[in-house]
Amino acid sequence: MTRRTTPATAPSTLLRRGEIHSPADPFATAMLVTGDRVAWLGSEAAADALADTADHTVDLDGALVTPAFTDAHVHTTATGLALTGLDLTSAPSLAAALDAIRAFAAARPAGEVLLGHGWDSARWPERRPPTVAELDEAAGGRPLYLSRVDVHSALATTALLARVPGVADLPGWSADRPLTGDAHHAVRAHAFGDLTPARRAEAQRATRAHAAALGIGALHECGGPEISSEDDLTALLALAAAEPGPRVVGYWAELVTEPKDATRIAELGAAGAAGDLFADGSLGSHTAHLRAPYADAPGTGLAHLTEDQIATHVALCTEAGLQAGFHAIGDAAVTAVTRGVRAAATRVGVERVRALRHRVEHAELLTEELVAELAALGLVASVQPAFDAAWGGPDGMYAARLGAERAAALNPFAALARAGVPLAFGSDAPVTPLDPWGAIRAAAHHHTPDHRISVRAAFAAHTRGGWRAVGRDDAGVLVPGAPADYAVWETGELLVQTPDDRVARWSTDPRSGTPGLPDLTPGTPLPRCLRTVVDGQIVYDRLNE
Q: Establish if 259 belongs to a structural domain.
A: no
Residue-level pLDDT at 474: 92
Residues 85 and 123 in one domain: yes
The pLDDT tens digits of the residues spanning 163-222 come to 999 999 999 898 888 998 889 989 988 888 878 899 899 999 999 999 999 999 999 999
- The helices-and-strands tally (H runs, E runs) of the chain is 20, 24
Cα separation, 389 vs 402, in Å, equals 17
Q: Establish if 147 belongs to a structural domain.
A: yes
Residues 64 and 82 in one domain: no
Residue-level pLDDT at 498: 55
Q: Establish if 431 belongs to a structural domain.
A: no
In 233-363, where do the E strands start and end? 247-252, 272-273, 323-328, 359-362
Residues 90 and 175 in one domain: yes
Residue-level pLDDT at 58: 96
Residue-level pLDDT at 360: 98
Q: Which of 194, 216, 250 is the last residue of a domain?
A: 194
- The letter for the amino acid at 544 is N
The pLDDT tens digits of the residues spanning 222-280 come to 999 988 999 999 999 999 999 999 999 999 999 999 999 999 999 999 999 999 999 99
CB-neighbour burial class of residue 480 (10 A; exposed 0-12, middle 13-18, buried 19+): middle
Residue-level pLDDT at 333: 98
Residues 90 and 57 in one domain: no
Range of the domain at 126: 76-194
* Domains of the chain: total: 2
Instruction: Return the CATH number at 92.
Output: 3.10.310.70
Residue-level pLDDT at 64: 98
Residues 55 and 83 in one domain: no
Residues 178 and 80 in one domain: yes
Residues 96 and 123 in one domain: yes
Residue-level pLDDT at 297: 95
Instruction: Return the CATH number at 43.
Output: 2.30.40.10
Residues in the chain predicted with pLDDT less than 50, given as ranges, are: 1-7, 499-512
Residues 89 and 62 in one domain: no
- The letter for the amino acid at 136 is D
Residue-level pLDDT at 511: 42
Q: Establish if 522 belongs to a structural domain.
A: no
Residue 275 DSSP code: S
Residues 30 and 58 in one domain: yes
Q: Establish if 374 belongs to a structural domain.
A: no
In 35-93, where do the E strands start and end? 37-42, 56-59, 64-67, 69-74, 86-87
The pLDDT tens digits of the residues spanning 75-99 come to 999 999 989 889 898 899 999 999 9
**How crowded is residue 472: how many other Cβ atoms within 10 Å of its Cβ?**
17
Three-class DSSP category at 255: coil
**How crowded is residue 490: how many other Cβ atoms within 10 Å of its Cβ?**
16
Residues 124 and 145 in one domain: yes
Strands 86-87 and 114-119, bridge-based pairing: parallel
pTM score: 0.90
